[in-house]
Chains A and B, each alone.
Chain A
């Protein structure tokens, strides 16, 4: 069929509801529920000496106050370690409410439940906790020095140390033997996902039914369900978890269970009342999760054309106070660092360190921006060292299309071999060269210089493992009204799954996208799912929807063939325009909705479709199942690898060191595109976060472990006025590992932004940028440092 819906830039089905103000986000639910609020630690590291709640007790509307001592059974135990790893030698996870000790500002100590949030906060304010301060460990330097410890029993503050090599010999030896060598020390500061909607939980305990219903603003409702069941010691079948509309996730909402996801349901059960907690912005800053903070040391050995013969990278990763989500972020940095390049011997070692700060878990990109920063800074440094063009050095190192699938010789975050399935990186670089105007840039620079302006150009390329397993599933059902209902267990946070998954199902079933309703993240509808993270949703769920819809189509053909009779075989039929019809004789057709009626052996003429069906004798065959519906799963053998390159032109003010992006270009390859409009939007959003991470956003802790910029006034998310116009170009190399040829697109935009912007600033300024983000005042300082060094060098040589 030429008029396939997959590939079309359809407008989104979910928009009218959201645009009218009819969205149902967590805080829009549960009117009249009791409200929870938390007393959170105001200090970074302390022993809890005493908790005095007396003053809170006469707040009218107070219902309950809970401290760790009040928690029963498994609710009182530490939260689970979600992703263990053999190299994670010293895992520590938090309690739902702090027990004896607090390890970061914002850690929950007391839960208050009252009739509304104002009153709950009134009561929380009156609770007096006495702390005995312990010296805090803040920042990677202090964590590495290990003069102080975050957890007494964790030597060196080291949660994990891990080494990987690519099996191509001894990297250090290769570097030593290489014709040229250089080393770099790099740093990326902390940032955070910062969805516009914070987290939130609403719980309803049905005592008659002994059923717990939990709504939570999460990226994984199925896993929250199992976690809640385990913690509250309920049979999983008695727990339902529903994700309402979610106001953005970007990684932070994949972590689970959050303390509040256990405490709020527990309180609802204990009190026999609905209880709701909605995170406020300050809480989100100080008690959710951050990411990005890393130090890196790179050693590179290369030949005269810039080819990397050996690469050794050491990474120090700040994992915050606990590691409930394991060490995924530094694993991703280490394994995705190589990007589109093939290097000789590669060795990477990371040390994941505890600090007395908020936990660190994946934020869009999940460690890749740091890895790309290391690799791309190295490429630029090699070009500088050899006096070569920066793109030429990259080209010299690219994996060629004919080398696909390409085995990087590493173990990826999913525990499977890191094998790139497809990609055409030389074309990608050629496209970005043209789009950003690389070849004509020297003329542009000269023209700008003539006006007293300083501009520079930079580039950043990446490869992103997407669509990892273990699986996703979907259930597809044709109602007798003709409506198609697609249910998938994974959640959605704005990625347009209601539309793109409908496009996939509609193509298979020969219906319009308007006939398809997609339900996500509701464990009542679909119980098995992993979640929406790691750019995996469209790949895994999209293919699962295709599998399930394919089964439904087969069944529809079986039933229709029997109904049409006359020797019609299922293979003679096709699904077109809401009918099942003979390929050779389109007049011989049955409406899909009529087939849905026929699929049910027990049918009464409730509606028109049922009446119409009475003319057909045949129904679902013996041995078949009633209902025109099917469940399907997609279990990828391994991840699929998307790629892209960004090119950027910046202007730096010679006086004020202000940094302005003049041009931002993206070449993007996520395989077959289901909905170009949605993918383009994902890229835009990613780039905006990337620009934030390059120039504006940083989480700042002082020496005492206080987060000093925990508000939108001080943590600078870009407004429209800070995000440049973004030019995009797409290329398609279909995935070799899944039937639809899809690759993920959710995180792509953010991955190479810091690397590309740093490259452009270096180019404009003629000095090395080794730390991101960079502010005008930091650039100003860099200039001064650079001048001093230069004049010192000149003096020495004189």
Chain B
């Protein structure tokens, strides 16, 4: 009973990656086991907790519910890819630190990816909308208060950065 392997090519955080894996390998396991990207966490393996959320072509998906073979040819963003280019904390990550949006940090990668995608869609959420935006991710530590605050703060940081860039562009 040797399992047949499939070659899988995905662009992960902007880098083309290739590995062989059996058809039943979950995308989350593929990222973690085959590509060594352990930032994506598994909290339930049945699609409820959202800890495993990654972006597939920019859209949040649960990596515990997708086979790696189905991601072949797609672009994946994981929490590791939510940093700034210099490896500094990205806007959502920075907001989480400022607002104390994490405790054990196990659920956090799924929140970071979810919120990153959400703010693309809605750059200026209200508190109510921020709460809704994270309404599909479980956190057992924080009671969510500071995660909601982090969504709002991340939006603010993004706006500040945009303004800085516009300012810099204008001056040039």
Contacts and interface: CB of A to CB of B under 8 A. Distances in A.
B134 A720 contact: yes
Interface in A12-33: 12, 14-16, 18-25, 27-28, 31
B30 to A, nearest CB: 12
A777 interface: no
Contacts of B131: 720-721
B78 A21 contact: yes
B85 to A, nearest CB: 13
Interface string B84-110: 000101000100111010111111110
Contact of A281 (B45, B89, B135, B141): B45
Interface in A670-695: 677-678, 680-689
Interface stretch (A43-51, A244-252, A614-622): A244-252
Contacts of B145: 684, 723, 725-726
Contacts of B38: 21, 23-25, 27-28
Given A21-B39, A720-B144, A246 B104 contact: yes
Nearest to A9: B100
Contacts, number: 179
Interface in B32-86: 32-33, 36-46, 48-49, 51, 78-80, 83
Given A27-B32, A281-B46, A681-B100, A21 B79 contact: yes
A111 interface: no
Contact of B140 (A14, A27, A59, A195): A195
B5 to A, nearest CB: 13
Given A12-B100, A720-B134, A281 B143 contact: no
From DSSP, what is the main secondary structure of chain A's interface residues? loop
B138 interface: yes
A489 B89 CA distance: 30
B135 A749 contact: no
B140 A686 contact: no
B48 A712 contact: yes
A169 interface: no
Nearest to A689: B140
Contacts of B161: none
A11 B94 CA distance: 11
Q: Which interface residue of A495, A687, A717, A726 has the most chain B CB atoms within 10 A?
A: A717
Contacts of B100: 11-12, 677-678, 680-681
The bracket for how many chain A residues form the interface is 35 or more
A712 B102 contact: no
Contacts of B143: 681, 683-689, 723, 726, 749
Contact of A21 (B46, B97, B109, B140): B109
Contacts of B79: 19-21
A681 B43 CA distance: 21
A712 B138 contact: yes
A571 to B, nearest CB: 40
A194 interface: yes
B27 interface: no
Contacts of B135: 719-721
A645 B131 CA distance: 26
Contacts of A31: 33, 36
Given A27-B32, A678-B100, A684-B145, A248 B140 contact: yes
Contact of A681 (B93, B103, B108): B103
Contacts of B125: none
Interface string A49-84: 000000000111000000000000000000000000
B25 to A, nearest CB: 8
B103 A685 contact: yes
B169 to A, nearest CB: 29
Nearest to A681: B100
B137 A719 contact: yes
B140 A250 contact: yes
B146 interface: yes
Nearest to A714: B48
Given A681-B100, A713-B46, A713-B48, A19 B105 contact: yes
From DSSP, what is the main secondary structure of chain B's interface residues? loop
B164 to A, nearest CB: 21
B1 interface: yes
A244 to B, nearest CB: 11
B140 A22 contact: no
Nearest to A22: B39
A16 B82 CA distance: 12
B145 to A, nearest CB: 5
B159 interface: no
Contacts of B51: 196
B67 to A, nearest CB: 12
Contacts of A27: 32, 38, 42
A19 B112 contact: yes
Contacts of A247: 41, 43, 104-107
B22 interface: yes
B4 interface: no
Contacts of B120: none
A656 to B, nearest CB: 21
Nearest to B40: A21
Nearest to B37: A21
A721 B136 CA distance: 9
B24 A197 contact: no
B7 interface: no
A233 interface: no
B148 interface: yes
A118 interface: yes
A797 to B, nearest CB: 48
A648 B93 CA distance: 33
A19 B104 contact: no
A248 B141 contact: yes
Contact of A717 (B83, B106, B140): B140
Interface string B135-170: 111111111111110000000000000000000000
A682 B33 CA distance: 33
A155 interface: no
Contacts of A401: none
B105 A18 contact: yes
A20 B103 CA distance: 14
A460 interface: no
Contacts of A723: 143-145
Contacts of B142: 681, 684-685, 688
A721 B130 CA distance: 10
A435 to B, nearest CB: 16
Given A25-B106, A197-B41, A11 B140 contact: no
A631 interface: no
A711 interface: yes
Contacts of A18: 102, 105, 108
Please list the 3 inter-chain residue pairs (A to B) with the smallest Cβ-Cβ separation, ordered nearest first.
A21-B39, A247-B106, A494-B104
Given A494-B104, A720-B147, A721-B131, 12 more contacts: A14-B105, A15-B105, A21-B39, A196-B138, A247-B105, A677-B100, A681-B146, A685-B142, A712-B43, A719-B138, A720-B131, A720-B134
6 contacts: A15-B105, A21-B109, A25-B41, A25-B106, A245-B104, A711-B44
